[in-house]
């Protein structure tokens, strides 16, 4: 049997050792000169252990194309739930907020806690999977040093806008004046103080106005064209902690490492810059793709 997981088609195979279903996905063609680097990336990514990152279980190099073996995530992608909604199980504001916080935590982990910084390069709703408890699982990423953490921050901002509006990141149904890009349309709407005109009606009904404004402001900060002015994922996770507390949600820290060691000195949330004044130094260039990339 086969299904769509992240980008591309995968085969679902029952593991003969314990009966669990795993997802097997073909990698891109790897030439002999890049094989050593590919193996290094596989080893690095297989060591990632975070509840909101799809686990890479193994790799087979004895086939025409390398095969990557992942844990199987059963409930499809965030894109499917947002844009092909299930009336019997709609994504509530609480679920959207939790999913956003989980993805932010996973990216913070990848940027900060791994032996070397790992940048996803392609964060979008089709690469965010939902498990049996509808927890977010980030999938389909690599380790290219040509990308930066601020590249991921921008892409995360687009996902935030999708969660707020229920609209697709790229759409040809919007007018030319509105723009094909959801990010552009969102920023124009924020500029004209018409945010609530484009929010998903369910989000407006279920969320607190001040929290919706805070998430929208955070998304706008993530979408700044100058990468140096975007927040880090560390700062993004702190914002979500505040919002979750204000929503009286259970704050689940999924990061499976010593936070003090990663973050250094205790972070004083009361002294954090406001969302509208983030100014973090980093390059935002986007260059070649990493080797560990699948169809």
Q: Report how far residue 77's alpha carbon sits from residue 203's, in angstroms, rounded to the nearest whole number.
A: 19
Which parts of the chain fold into alpha helices (H)? 35-46, 78-83, 93-112, 149-165, 182-191, 201-206, 209-222, 233-246, 259-263
H/E element, 67: strand 67-71
- Closest Cα partner for 10 from 1, 41, 18, 19? 1
| Residue 69, strand partner residues | 24, 58
| Strands across the sheet containing 9-14 | 2-4, 9-14, 21-26, 67-71, 56-60
Is residue 87 classed exposed, middle or buried when 0-12, 13-18 and 19+ CB atoms within 10 A define those classes? exposed
Cα angle, residue 26 at apex, residues 22 and 31 outer, rounded to 5°: 140
Among candidate residues 15, 18, 31, 122, the one labeled active-site is: 122
> In the annotation, is 122 catalytic?
yes
Cα-to-chain-centroid distance, residue 227: 17
Q: The tokens of 29 are what?
A: 């063609």
Q: Which residues are catalytic?
A: 122
């Amino acid at each position: 049997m086969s299904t769509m997981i992240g980008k591309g088609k995968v085969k679902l195979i029952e593991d003969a050792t314990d009966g669990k279903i795993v997802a097997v996905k073909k990698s891109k063609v790897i030439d002999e000169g890049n094989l050593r680097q590919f193996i290094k990336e596989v080893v690095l990514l297989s060591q990632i252990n975070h509840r909101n990152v799809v686990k890479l279980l193994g790799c087979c190099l004895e086939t025409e194309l390398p095969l990557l073996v992942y844990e199987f995530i059963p409930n499809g992608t965030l894109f499917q739930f947002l844009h092909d909604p299930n009336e019997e199980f709609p994504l509530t504001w609480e679920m959207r907020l939790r999913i956003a916080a989980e993805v932010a935590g996973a990216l913070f982990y990848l940027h900060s806690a791994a032996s070397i910084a790992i940048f996803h390069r392609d964060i979008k709703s089709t690469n965010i999977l939902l498990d049996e408890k509808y927890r977010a699982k980030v999938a389909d990423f690599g380790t290219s040093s040509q990308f930066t953490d601020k590249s991921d921050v921008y892409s995360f901002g687009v996902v935030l806008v999708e969660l707020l509006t229920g609209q697709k990141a790229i759409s040809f149904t919007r007018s030319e004046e509105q723009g094909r890009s959801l990010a552009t349309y969102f920023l124009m709407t924020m500029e004209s103080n018409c945010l609530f005109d484009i929010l998903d009606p369910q989000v407006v009904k279920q969320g607190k106005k001040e929290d919706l404004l805070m998430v929208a402001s955070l998304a706008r900060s993530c979408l700044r064209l100058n990468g140096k002015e975007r927040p880090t994922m560390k700062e993004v996770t702190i914002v979500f902690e505040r919002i979750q507390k204000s929503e009286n949600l259970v704050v689940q820290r999924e990061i499976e490492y010593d936070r003090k060691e990663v973050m250094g000195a205790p972070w004083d949330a009361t002294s954090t810059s406001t969302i509208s004044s983030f100014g973090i130094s980093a390059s935002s260039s986007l260059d070649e793709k990493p080797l560990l990339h699948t169809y």
